[in-house]
Structures are given as structure tokens and as C-alpha cells.
């Protein structure tokens, strides 16, 4: 098996949201496929026809696209493959590895009671009756003829060896009485026919690995390499849920996280490369090995995620950030005007160092989008004493005369002005900032002036100064 090219897959069920745990599983499958030069596939497990709406499937496509996890083939839809699943069950019947179970509901209930009393799993008498006794007119289910003795060992890349006693595994149903395939059968047939060599998934499927191993063996197929990932918990160590702030991929997008920050962050949830905190895809692909995933559950850590997101915001192409921030303002129904995009593009590089999310970045850029005359907060009105007004008016004249309008020149101008006036910048800075921002968050004075632009800055100062004292 080891000399076959690696094929991994993510096999989400469309539930209407893409859980962050699914995103991490997808990332690990993608990284492992890229690391080994193999293939990464996507299968939509859409056999629950009620939940698997087109919208729910689209949520998965959108989540994968946003995360930048590209599959190497068109997605496979499990529900379309029912005939393949049934054919596999037939093959097992023919090999004597499965049997028809004609137990009636009453007989099954009785057997279940007996089994419970005797502390064993249920066994159907049809297991040993043989095809000669089958009655075509009666309903039946098809069950796997599981071994009664011995053990099934899952040699898991993350968990190590996990042993299941076969006597504890019942003869699982492969086809229901209506002829539809069951989940474990579908997964095995799909993984085999998709050529999947490594099944990397959440450890809530560990027990299924034992059952699926028995199906592989019954079909005479190679068993894939297993790797079961521990769950992601909330910061408080309990199962990740709504009250931890977010659990769906789309929520992280809505909260202003960048996909590359999410990839870096998720890669570090359960895996890592020494003490390296910040690494891009190329490094992660180079370093990633499924055997290095740790077995202990990991906890979502907002501080770490914010730290990474800030790093990637500082690195990001300003044009791209501008698009993202435009979207945030639009989603908040901020009335956007012609020229606002250019204003944002000018402002973002000046303020982004302090932003943990693109939502914060949007907050930090509101001041440039405001329209004259800006409403001044009460606090700002208090700052505009007669003395300060006179000083701002003198500063205004110097700003008007300034040949240059860049951060370095304006910093020097403001410093020189304070010196010439014989006061600290604290004597007029807060008032100037209020004139420029109308009380919204704004960066240092020189950056705020550059972001606002010369004419607009001078206009805003004039507006404030002409405001009745």
C-alpha cells in the first residue's frame, strides 16, 4: 500500500454549515496530499436527502473555496453512487461474506432483549442458515458476516494501535430492508473506488474504522491507512459550540479573519513544527506529516488566532484589504460614495498595523469616509477653547503652506509647530484629531492628515473652527 501514490479526501455531510473541525480535517488532508505529491479529493456525503439541499452543499463548496483548499478532481456525490454500494453488498453475499437476515421486527426485539440480558451483541439466526433458506417474498436486510472471535486492530497514525474485540461488533447492516445502503458500506465503497489510501478524519469515526475494516476485508480490498484527529475544544476545554463565539467557517470569515491566517492557525491545532508560530502554505506543505499530529485534543485560542490574523493583515496586498474593508462597510450599510475606495486604499496601509481583524480595520477607517461637516462629539467641543482654536488656526496656515503631504513631512511640521508655540503636542493634538475624525478612531496626527487628504483635512479643520464656540 505504501508505494501507491497518496490519495486523501474530505467527506463532509452537508448540514448547512461547515464546522471549523471539518475545516481543520480538510486542511490536514490537503497538506498531506500536497506534502506527498498525492491527490486530495472531495466527497459530499449527501445520503440524508432532507438535509442535503443545494444550499447546504454550496456552503461546503464556499467554505473550501474560502479556505483555499482546492481538490484535485470534481466532487463525488455519495447519493449518486447507491448502485455501486448495492453492487458491493451483492458481491459480499456471493462470497458468503454477508447474508440476508429475515428476522421480523418482533424477533429482532426479542433477540435484542436476550443479547442485553446476556451482555453480548445481537446475532441473527440467519447468519448460518444459508441461501437455500431464503424466501424471495419476505423482506430482509443484508448483514455483514463479521468474525465472531479475534480482534480488529486499527493501526492509527495519530492514536496508535486501537484494538476492537470482534465479539463486541455486531453483524452490521449493509442494505436496509428497502434496499438502500448504510453509511459504513457507502464510505468503504466510495473510498475504495476513489482510490483513497489515507483516511484522515475526526476521531468520532474511530469505531467506524473497525467496522469499515471488516467490510474491506469482506470485499478483499486493501484497508486504507487510518488517522483519526482529536476534536477541537473551546478555550474552556468543553466541546466547541455556539457560545464559544464561532464554530462555522463562514463565521470566521464574517468576523474578519483572513483565510491564510485560518490555515496557519488550524495547522497549529494539533500539529506543529517545533516552535514555529507563523508559516505559510509552502512551509506547512514541506513540513507536514500526519504522524506528527498529536493525540490530545486542542483548544481554540482566540489570542493566538488574533495574533496571526494581525500578522497576515500587515502582510496582505493593500488592494485586497481595501476590497474586504469595502465589503465590511457595505455590510454595515455605510453609505459609500465615489472616491471612498481610493480613500480606504490610502488609509489602510497607515492604520492596519493595529488591526486584529478586517472588522477592526473597517472601524479604523470610518473617519476618512465621513462627510463634511463632521459632527463633533461633546468631548471634542470641550477641547476647542479659544486658545486652542487660535492655535489650530495658526497650524492650519502652516498646513496650507506645506509643500509636502506625507507622514514624515507632516510629523516634522507638527513637531516644529509645537516647538515654535512653546507647547507640547498634547495642547492641540487631541483637538486636531477630533476635527479630523469627528470622534471616530484615528491614527497618529500625521497619518490621519495623510489619510484624510490635504483639501479635506483643511476643510474639516475650517468647519470645526467656524463652529460657534
Which residue number, 9 or 100, has a Cβ lying nearer to ligand GLU?
9
d(CA 462, CA 460) in angstroms, rounded, equals 5
Size of the site for ligand GLU (CB under 6 A): 7
Query: Can residue 231 be called a binding residue for ligand GLU (CB under 6 A)?
Result: no
Which residue number, 221 or 334, has a Cβ lying nearer to ligand GLU?
221
d(CA 249, CA 266) in angstroms, rounded, equals 11
Query: Can residue 187 be called a binding residue for ligand GLU (CB under 6 A)?
Result: yes
Residue 242 a catalytic site member: yes
What is the smallest separation between the CB atom of 266 and ligand GLU, expressed in angstroms?
A: 17
- Grid coordinates belonging to 95: 462470497
The one catalytic residue in 239, 242, 327, 379 is 242
Give the phi and the psi of residue 160 in degrees, each rounded to 5.
85, -160
What is the smallest separation between the CB atom of 359 and ligand GLU, expressed in angstroms?
A: 30
Query: Can residue 20 be called a binding residue for ligand GLU (CB under 6 A)?
Result: no
Which helix H or strand E contains 199, and what residues bound it?
Answer: strand 198-202
Nearest Cα to 191, choosing from 330, 42, 50? 42
Query: Can residue 307 be called a binding residue for ligand GLU (CB under 6 A)?
Result: no
Q: Which residue is nearest to ligand GLU (CB)?
A: 201
Distance between start and end Cα atoms, the chain: 83
Out of 11, 27, 344, 361, name the contact with ligand GLU by CB under 6 A: 11
Query: Can residue 45 be called a binding residue for ligand GLU (CB under 6 A)?
Result: yes
The long-range contacts involving 382-385, CB below 8 angstroms and separated by at least 24 positions, are 383/430, 383/431, 383/434, 384/431, 384/434, 384/464, 384/465, 384/467, 384/469
Query: Can residue 171 be called a binding residue for ligand GLU (CB under 6 A)?
Result: no
- Alpha helix stretches (DSSP H) within 375-453: 378-383, 386-401, 407-421, 429-437, 445-452
Secondary structure of 241-272 as H, E, C letters: CHHHCCCEHHHHHHCCCCHHHHHHHHHCCCCC
What is the smallest separation between the CB atom of 14 and ligand GLU, expressed in angstroms?
A: 9
What is the smallest separation between the CB atom of 355 and ligand GLU, expressed in angstroms?
A: 34
What is the smallest separation between the CB atom of 178 and ligand GLU, expressed in angstroms?
A: 21
Query: Can residue 225 be called a binding residue for ligand GLU (CB under 6 A)?
Result: no
Q: What is the 8-class DSSP label of residue 367?
A: H
Block residue for cell numbers 468474525? 147
What is the smallest separation between the CB atom of 267 and ligand GLU, expressed in angstroms?
A: 19
Q: For 206, how many CA atoms within 13 A lie in the half-sphere containing its CB?
A: 20
Segment interacting with ligand GLU (CB under 6 A) among 6-14, 146-154, 330-338, 382-390: 6-14
| Cα–chain center distance at 294 | 20
Out of 35, 84, 129, 205, name the contact with ligand GLU by CB under 6 A: 205
Residues in 323-352 that interact with ligand GLU by CB under 6 A:
none
For the purposes of burial, counting CB atoms within 10 Å of the CB of 323, is it exposed (0-12), middle (13-18) or buried (19 or more)? Answer: middle
Out of 39, 100, 145, 201, name the contact with ligand GLU by CB under 6 A: 201
Query: Can residue 192 be called a binding residue for ligand GLU (CB under 6 A)?
Result: no
Which residue number, 205 or 273, has a Cβ lying nearer to ligand GLU?
205
What is the smallest separation between the CB atom of 196 and ligand GLU, expressed in angstroms?
A: 9
Residues at the contact surface with ligand GLU, assessed by CB under 6 A: 11-13, 45, 187, 201, 205
Residues catalogued as catalytic: 242
Amino acid at each position: 500500500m505504501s508505494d501507491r501514490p497518496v490519495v486523501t479526501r474530505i467527506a463532509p455531510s452537508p448540514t448547512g454549515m461547515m464546522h471549523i473541525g471539518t475545516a481543520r480535517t480538510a486542511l490536514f488532508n490537503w497538506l498531506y496530499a500536497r506534502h506527498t505529491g498525492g491527490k486530495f479529493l472531495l466527497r459530499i456525503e449527501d445520503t440524508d436527502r432532507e438535509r442535503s439541499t443545494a444550499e447546504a452543499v454550496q456552503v461546503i463548496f464556499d467554505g473550501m473555496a474560502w479556505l483555499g483548499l482546492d481538490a484535485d478532481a470534481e466532487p463525488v456525490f455519495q447519493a449518486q453512487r447507491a448502485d455501486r454500494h448495492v453492487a458491493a453488498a451483492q458481491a459480499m453475499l456471493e462470497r458468503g461474506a454477508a447474508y440476508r437476515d429475515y428476522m421480523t421486527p418482533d424477533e429482532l426485539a426479542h433477540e435484542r432483549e436476550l443479547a442485553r440480558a446476556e451482555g453480548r451483541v445481537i446475532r441473527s439466526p440467519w447468519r448460518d442458515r444459508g441461501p437455500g433458506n431464503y424466501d424471495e417474498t419476505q423482506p430482509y436486510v443484508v448483514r455483514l458476516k463479521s468474525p465472531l472471535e479475534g480482534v480488529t486492530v486499527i493501526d492509527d497514525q495519530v492514536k496508535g494501535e486501537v484494538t476492537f474485540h470482534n465479539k463486541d461488533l455486531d453483524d452490521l447492516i449493509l442494505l436496509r430492508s428497502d434496499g438502500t445502503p448504510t453509511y459504513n458500506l457507502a464510505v468503504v465503497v466510495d473510498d475504495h473506488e476513489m482510490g483513497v489510501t489515507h483516511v484522515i478524519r475526526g476521531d468520532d469515526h474511530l469505531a467506524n474504522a473497525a467496522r469499515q475494516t471488516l467490510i474491506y476485508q469482506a470485499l478483499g480490498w486493501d484497508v486504507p491507512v487510518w488517522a483519526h484527529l482529536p476534536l477541537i475544544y473551546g478555550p474552556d476545554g468543553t466541546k466547541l459550540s455556539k457560545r464559544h463565539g464561532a464554530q462555522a467557517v463562514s463565521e470566521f470569515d464574517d468576523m474578519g479573519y483572513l483565510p491564510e491566517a485560518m490555515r496557519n492557525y488550524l495547522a497549529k491545532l494539533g500539529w506543529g513544527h517545533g516552535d514555529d508560530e507563523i508559516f505559510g502554505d509552502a512551509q506547512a506543505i514541506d513540513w507536514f506529516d500526519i504522524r506528527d499530529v498529536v493525540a490530545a485534543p486542542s483548544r481554540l485560542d482566540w489570542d493566538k488566532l488574533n495574533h496571526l490574523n494581525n500578522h497576515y493583515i500587515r502582510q496582505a496586498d493593500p488592494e485586497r484589504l481595501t476590497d474586504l474593508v469595502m465589503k465590511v462597510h457595505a455590510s454595515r450599510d455605510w453609505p459609500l460614495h465615489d472616491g471612498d475606495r481610493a480613500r480606504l486604499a490610502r488609509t489602510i496601509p497607515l492604520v492596519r498595523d493595529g488591526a486584529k481583524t478586517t472588522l477592526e480595520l473597517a472601524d479604523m477607517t470610518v473617519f476618512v469616509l465621513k462627510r463634511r461637516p463632521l459632527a463633533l462629539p461633546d468631548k471634542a467641543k470641550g477641547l476647542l477653547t479659544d486658545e486652542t482654536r487660535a492655535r489650530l488656526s495658526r497650524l492650519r496656515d502652516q498646513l496650507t503652506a506645506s509643500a509636502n503631504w506625507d507622514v514624515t513631512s507632516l510629523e516634522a511640521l507638527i513637531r516644529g509647530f509645537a516647538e515654535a508655540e512653546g507647547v507640547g503636542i498634547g495642547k492641540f493634538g487631541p483637538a486636531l484629531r477630533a476635527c479630523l475624525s469627528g470622534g471616530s478612531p484615528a491614527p497618529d496626527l500625521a497619518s490621519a492628515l495623510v489619510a484624510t487628504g490635504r483639501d479635506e483635512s483643511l476643510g474639516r479643520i475650517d468647519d470645526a473652527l467656524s463652529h460657534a464656540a
